[in-house]
Amino acid sequence: MQEQLDDAIDSGLDGMIVYVDQANQPPALYAAGWKDRAAQIPADPQALFKIASISKLYIATAVAKLVNKQNLFLDDTLADYLPELVGRIEYADQITLKMMVQHRSGIPNYVDEEEFDWGNPLMEISENLALVLDEPADFEPDTDYRYSNTNYLLIGSILDKVLGYSHQQYIKSEIIAPLGLTNTYGLLSDVNLEDVASGYYTKYDGDLKTLDYVVPGGSMVATAQDVGVFLRALNDGALLNDDEQAIYSAIYKYEHKGWVLGYHSIARYYKDIDAVVIQFVNTTGGDMELLSNVVYGRIVRILRREQ
């Protein structure tokens, strides 16, 4: 396993962290390369990492819990929850909460807009949403699938409104705390930057660690181990009760990838070998994501052979 990480560093990745939790074996952490290349600090398996869109699993979990409590309703529309967006987002009166969770809303993805700059992220959620206001829909609601970060931006806003407080706080109290996770945070601003792995882009020499992505569904920071504990609990029923689990299964998936500039992550559970495999790579650009996926596939094959 360690050889796979070492070879990946030799092939161009700056740093890697892998967490493996396989049935009947103690969880294992592996690391290679650099946590901070300039300071020559070796990769730390307990380093915090920007998990990007893996954050969507936590938001979907929050939705399932609140739907079960009837604080939210999957068939209620965007117009019901955020009436101020009627006339600003096409089909707002037809797009349901469930469609947004499942990326079947047709709402354009704000990160695809020409004005969006990964290297200079907007620091207000409203500024990111403004990039797609008054734009035509990608398709009529529930007629197609297209991944859109705008969906989870809006879900975060809906959660904040319904709860009367930050959805990050709800996730902390109802999901993170019950699992005993002490290294999972809603925002980069919640953590000491010295604890965060540096991030690198192949076309840029500097460290991208300070870039802050605040939009719900892409803002969280965590260790590989914390993500792994969460993912197992989500998959094995330890996190949600039976009713909540049934709702979750009907609305979202049980694995995710994440990507922001300088950070690529993969979080998956494999039922056939009862294993959770989390991989963090702090290099993006060029062929680095492809290399990351190849290494991840090799790790899973090793685990299957060892069964």
Report the C-alpha gap between 64 and 44 in whole angstroms. 34
265-303 confidence digits (pLDDT tens): 999 999 999 999 999 999 999 999 999 999 999 999 999
Give the CATH number of the domain where residue 65 resides: 3.40.710.10
Distances from the Cα of 48 to the Cαs of 8, 41, 210, 223, in angstroms?
Answer: 20, 14, 13, 5
Domain that holds residue 233: 2-306
- pTM value? 0.97
Query: What's the structural domain count of the chain?
Result: 1
Q: What residue type is assigned to position 238 of the chain?
A: A
pLDDT at 307: 79
Q: Which residue has the tokens 């992550």?
A: 265
Residue 233 and residue 16: Cα distance in Å, rounded?
Answer: 24
Positions in the chain short of pLDDT 50: none
Tokens of 46: 């307990």
- Rounded Cα gap, residues 189 and 203, in angstroms: 26
Copy the structure tokens of residue 66. 């609140």
136 forms bridges with which residues in the sheet? Answer: none
Residue listed under structure tokens 């469930």: 98
What confidence score (pLDDT) does residue 49 get? 98
Amino acid 306: pLDDT: 85
Q: Is the dihedral of CA 42, 45, 50, 51 positive or negative?
A: positive
Dump the DSSP string for the chain. Answer: -HHHHHHHHHTT-SEEEEEEEETTS--EEEEEEEEETTTTEEP-TT-BEE-GGGHHHHHHHHHHHHHHTTSS-TT-BHHHH-GGGBTTBTTTTT-BHHHHHTT-S-PPPGGGSTT--TTS--SSHHHHHHTTTTPPPSSSTTS-----HHHHHHHHHHHHHHHSS-HHHHHIIIIIGGGT-SSEES-GGGS-GGGBPP-EETTB-S--TT----STTS--EE-HHHHHHHHHHHHHTSSS-HHHHHHHHHH--S-EEEEETTEEEEEEEETTTTEEEEEEE-EESTTHHHHHHHHHHHHHHHHHHH-
